[in-house]
Every structure is written in structure tokens, then in C-alpha cells.
Amino acid sequence: GAVVSQHPSRVICKSGTSVKIECRSLDFQATTMFWYRQFPKQSLMLMATSNEGSKATYEQGVEKDKFLINHASLTLSTLTVTSAHPEDSSFYICSAAPGLAWKTQYFGPGTRLLVL
Amino acid sequence: AQTVTQSQPEMSVQEAETVTLSCTYDTSESDYYLFWYKQPPSRQMILVIRQEAYKQQNATENRFSVNFQKAAKSFSLKISDSQLGDAAMYFCAYRRSVQGAQKLVFGQGTRLTINP
């Protein structure tokens, strides 16, 4: 149980285009979902937290207009990187938790984004 | 501020031997959760073990166990009978509360190599 999927697993796009990444909880309802960014050989950096039906809460330094997050249902959250530039190239990981007072987050397999 | 420190960037161990990964954290909370996550080359984050701070008993999951020292704010992971499949990045994480919301704070990670 507790499986989280992400799609696509890898995406290459041209500078200036927008890219959408989907995160789905397959066998549980995810009240809360999280988006992380991971640079090579570094730890995970939390970008934002989203609760179903509410606006996402962004971490300090994360541009809300650059990284649009939508959590429209209890099983789906999306991250849209708008007007992507090469510096947005990174590994993006989502996670999901069942409930606000969660005990464990379950992670998706990640999406590698390369902006040319 | 709540922080998590892993002081060993890299560790190596002979197959079948035991290795201990260190983690210290800083918090003013009295009730919290601590985690060890494994990230193999596939980059999928995998939960290894979870410790609830109010429990005095150290958590154990098969070959994985922790040494939780609450007063010292130390949370080390012991891997017994190391296997080649244990090779990965290991992240220590702390669940912190921010204005009623729960977030994970990760340490810098320890890269574990298993020598055959």
C-alpha cells in the first residue's frame, strides 16, 4: 500500500515553455501533498505544501508564479513550471500524506526536468 | 530553528558487517517524529524506519534499528548484516510543526557504499 506515482518521469523542454508534473496517490486519500526539489548530490528542499481544495503554502524563496501548484482532489496534485529556464532544470519529487497530522509521507519516484 | 545534521557525508562497510549512520537534530518541541529514508540510485525515496519521540523504545525494522537518545537529540541508524542492496544515500529527517502544519526537514545525507 501507500503508492505515489509521478508523471512524467523525465521531460525535456525548450526555454520559455511550461511543464506540468502530476502526482497521484494510488491507494489512499492524500489530504496533504508536498513538492520538493533536489539538486545533484544534495538533499531534498521543500518547495511547497498543498492541502486539497486550498491554496498551496510556499517556502521562503520559492516563486509562486513560477511554480504553480494545484491540489484539486484527494488523489492528485500538479506542479506547473511556468516559462521554464535552464536554471529550473532539476529533479522534482512529490510526496503525499493521509491527513494533516500525518505520521509518514510517501514519496513519488520523481521527475527529472531538463530545460534547454 | 529546527535543523538536522548528518556529519558523515560518506560511509563504507564490508558486506555482512554492521554500520552506524549518525544524525543529530535541534528542536524545542517535545513530541515529534524522526525518520530515516533511503534513496538508491533510482532516486525513489524509501522509508526505512520511523521513531516517535514519546516512545522510549528504539524502533526496529528487520536489519535496521535506531539508537534514539532524546536528551542528546541524537538519532543514529544501525544496519546489521549489510547487503549490496543497502547501498544508497540515507537521509535523516525530522517532522516539524509550523503554524499547525507538519513538514519534513532533511539532513544533508550520507552516501553508504557496501564493499563485496
Angle at B2 between CA A91 and CA B71, to 5 degrees: 125
Q: Is the pLDDT of residue B98 over 80?
A: no
Under the banding of pLDDT at 50, 70 and 90, the label for residue B80 is: very high
Amino acid of residue B44:
Q
Under the banding of pLDDT at 50, 70 and 90, the label for residue B24 is: very high
The residues near A41 (Cβ < 8 Å, ≥ 6 apart) are none
Chain A to chain B, count of Cβ pairs less than 8 Å apart?
A: 49
Mean pLDDT of B75-93: 98
The residues near B70 (Cβ < 8 Å, ≥ 6 apart) are B53
The closest of A7, A104, A16 to B93, measured between CA atoms, is: A104
Q: Is the pLDDT of residue B35 over 60?
A: yes
Nearest by CB: B44 against A97, A105, A109:
A109
Q: Is the pLDDT of residue B99 over 80?
A: no
Strands A10-13 and A111-115: parallel
Kindly state whether A60 is in contact with chain B, defined as any CB-CB distance less than 8 angstroms: no
Nearest by CB: B50 against A93, A101, A104:
A104
Mean pLDDT of B34-60: 95
**A21: how many CB neighbours lie within 10 A of its CB?**
23
pLDDT at B1: 57
